[in-house]
Amino acid sequence: DDDDVSIDDGVSSSRSSDNNPRSFHEDYDTDIETDSDGHKDHDPTGRQLYRELCKEASLIPCSYFLAHIQDNEMILRYHQFNTEDIKAITKTLVTNLSIDHLYLDGNFLQEQATKYITQLILTNDSITELSLADNRLGGNEGTKEICRMLTLNRNLKKLNLSGNKFNELDITQLIEAFEVNRFFSLTKNNRTI
């Protein structure tokens, strides 16, 4: 039975009728990528990832963020971040287990930034306190994302959303979503609770 499987050098391969043996790697199609140097540099802090994300998006990295990436609090108030800045920061923090308090107050963040923040909170269970005060998160999509974050993440215990121009409908939706949280602040919006 020469047409069956033969074992040569510890690797089995099928014989083809034209007697051209195929290499082991030709028989398998994988999604595994290998680096030319064998492995990528390990980046437990996320600093390298953040710099790469900033470079890809033509952003200037926030030196304060880099300096405090291993602290338990990340205070990024009034930095005037745009949506791409928030995207780079949140992608970096997804695997960060050091930070449990994140403050993004007064950055004029809008609805699109809320999507990145929601994804971070849903992925990173270490963050228990989030402050998004004095941004522009009120409105249909921003409120929906915050509600999604609140209903799907059980580790977030404190959320400050004051000063975000929430209207009465937004506040009604948020109250329903806040049932899983112990503390919240909705002061300085269009309606007082």
Q: What is the number of residues in the chain?
A: 193
- Rounded Cα distance, 26 and 17, in Å: 17
Query: What are the boundaries of each domain within the chain?
Result: 47-185
Lookup: tokens for 112: 């699109």
pLDDT over 80 (residue 1): no
Sheet holding 73-75, edge to edge: 73-75, 101-103, 129-131, 158-160, 183-185
Q: Which pLDDT does position 109 carry in this prediction?
A: 95
What mean pLDDT is predicted for residues 81-106?
Answer: 97
Residue 136's identity, in one-letter code, is R
Is pLDDT larger for residue 94 or for residue 30?
Answer: 94
Is pLDDT larger for residue 156 or for residue 64?
Answer: 64
What mean pLDDT is predicted for residues 89-114?
Answer: 96
Q: Average pLDDT over the chain, rounded to whole?
A: 81
Question: What is the band of 43 on the pLDDT scale with cuts at 50, 70, 90?
Answer: confident
pTM for the predicted model, two decimal places: 0.73
Is pLDDT larger for residue 4 or for residue 67?
Answer: 67
Check: CB of residue 171 under 8 Å from CB of residue 161.
no
Whole-angstrom CA distances from 28 to 8, 20, 177 are 17, 17, 48
- Rounded Cα distance, 85 and 8, in Å: 55
What mean pLDDT is predicted for residues 109-128?
Answer: 95
What three-state secondary structure class fits 65?
A: helix
- Rounded Cα distance, 46 and 92, in Å: 6
Q: Which pLDDT does position 188 carry in this prediction?
A: 62
- The CATH H-level (homologous superfamily) assignment of domain 47-185 is Ribonuclease Inhibitor (3.80.10.10)
